[in-house]
Structure 1
Amino acid sequence: MSLYEIAFAGQLVAGAESEQVKANLARLFQADAQRIALLFSGRRIVIKTNLDQAGAEKYRTTLERAGAVAIVRALDLPVADAPPSPSATATAAVAPVASPALAASPPDTAPKGASSKVIPRDEYMAAFVDVEAPDFGIAPVGVDLQDAKPDAAPPPVDLSQFSLAPVGSDMGQIKQAPAAPAPDTSHLKLQ
């Protein structure tokens, strides 16, 4: 079982009037005119994410009755996995829904190793639509990712001019002055 997301890109059902659809969506989402205008900006805006198939179909039919064409996409994360974090949901690749009843865009047919097209999840991410993201893979667990470096050869240093001094010999340390004699305290008494 997969999870789905519902998005809207400003497309209307055939024969629907723009002003009526805007009024229907404002009533449906209980949103002001500014938010509704954002929905009709032409960018793909994610309305709801992490829905099961029944919930996604319910959203799609409700939006269709309001006159808006909803985009339903299946997230690649199965329900058995841990719930996705917001960052994982933002970076998760999406694939179109296989059911013909659900409206979805065609699958990405780019060859492996080609760049992926970034699909914005909201108005903030729309700025990154034209970013070319390379399709990097993930290395298996435990693989060393750093390139092997050859062992460094020791530098050629000539030490033949040095020798060892015999044990106990003076190595040129500064001699300390002899300690001063202890003061005479024989005339002092404790009472």
Structure 2
Amino acid sequence: MAMNFKIFKDQDTVATFVADILRKQFNNNSTTIAGVHLQHDQAPINAALQQNVSNNPVDFSQIHILDYDNNAVFYKNLGVPEKQIHQIPTDEKIEAFIKRHAKTKENKGKLTMQVVTIDREGSMGIPMNDGVLIAREIILVLTGSEKAEVVRKLYEENGSTTFVPSSLKSHRMVNVVLDEAAAQGLPEDVRSYFTELYA
């Protein structure tokens, strides 16, 4: 299984961890193209990212953000150039959109990272094959007790069912970041192992 589970105490700790991953990604790859679609999760990731960037400045001059949550003002205030904050039309494939609007010689038009969540009904709100799985790395954020059932399905189902997010298991690099409440959907031994590992 290509999924790496990381379980933290609460939503604030999850937000701090994800923000740190994002900031390090931006620092380590100054031509990152990152998609962010987190409106269906309560972890305060934007606030944590803003704090992290204020403590550890980032050169956003070549960063491109696929802004699924309509947070252009936030990213602009963070330092991302306005022309590099993209809202994705629902009728356009993401790879084609990137090729037309975000591809440069340096980033080669490759979607570096998708940071996403799954809502309570099991929907990601982005096409799986063209939107999520094309990213080199996926960060899946699931917090709150209402997400425990989604976590259970994601863990148990094998990709051959109608639960679309289970196809994430076919991807080479998926980090599933959970708080203890959402992690209740995992088997107890799995939950104990990953809680102890990241506590």
TM-score by length of 1: 0.24
Relative contact order, higher structure (CA 8 A, sep 6+): 2
**Structure with greater proportional helix content:** 2
TM-score by length of 2: 0.24
Q: Which has the larger radius of gyration?
A: 1
